[in-house]
């Protein structure tokens, strides 16, 4: 993929989810997650470890609007090492996700 290009994900159905496999959280404690997302109706993303019902890392409220927002949300839990990251929506409010990053 050329520099500067990315894939956007659209989660638009209740209980829809996507998995980012093999995410390395390293050994240093992470405190928050940054997400660039958009939702015309507003919505909530949940971030879990390893499986849809796995440890809940964060809930991220995406504001209603037509443009992209970068939202910073506190992590509820932290586990070091390599994990699959599951991002889901639990309602019928469509959310588009451009990227996800974690902050120490």
| Count of structural domains, the chain | 1
Q: How far is CA 74 from CA 35, 59, 61, 88, in A?
A: 11, 8, 11, 17
Domain coverage including residue 63: 31-103
pLDDT, tens only, 10-42: 998 888 999 999 999 888 889 999 999 999 999
The rounded distance, in Å, linking the Cα atoms of 68 and 93 is 16
Strand spans (E) along the chain = 9-11, 17-24, 32-38, 43-49, 56-62, 69-74, 82-89, 95-103
Is 36 within a domain?
yes
The pLDDT score that the predictor gives to residue 1 is 40
Is 24 within a domain?
no
The pLDDT score that the predictor gives to residue 62 is 96
- Residue 76 belongs to domain with CATH number: 2.60.120.260
């Amino acid at each position: 993929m050329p520099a500067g290009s990315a894939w956007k994900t659209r989660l638009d159905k209740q209980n829809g989810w996507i998995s980012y496999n093999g995410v390395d959280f390293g050994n240093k404690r992470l405190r928050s997650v940054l997400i660039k997302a958009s939702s015309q109706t507003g919505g909530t993303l949940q971030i879990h470890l390893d499986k849809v019902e796995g440890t809940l890392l964060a809930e991220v409220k995406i504001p209603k609007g037509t443009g992209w927002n970068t939202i910073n949300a506190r992590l509820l839990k932290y586990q070091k090492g390599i994990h699959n990251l599951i991002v889901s929506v639990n309602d019928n409010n469509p959310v588009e996700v451009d990227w996800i990053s974690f902050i120490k």
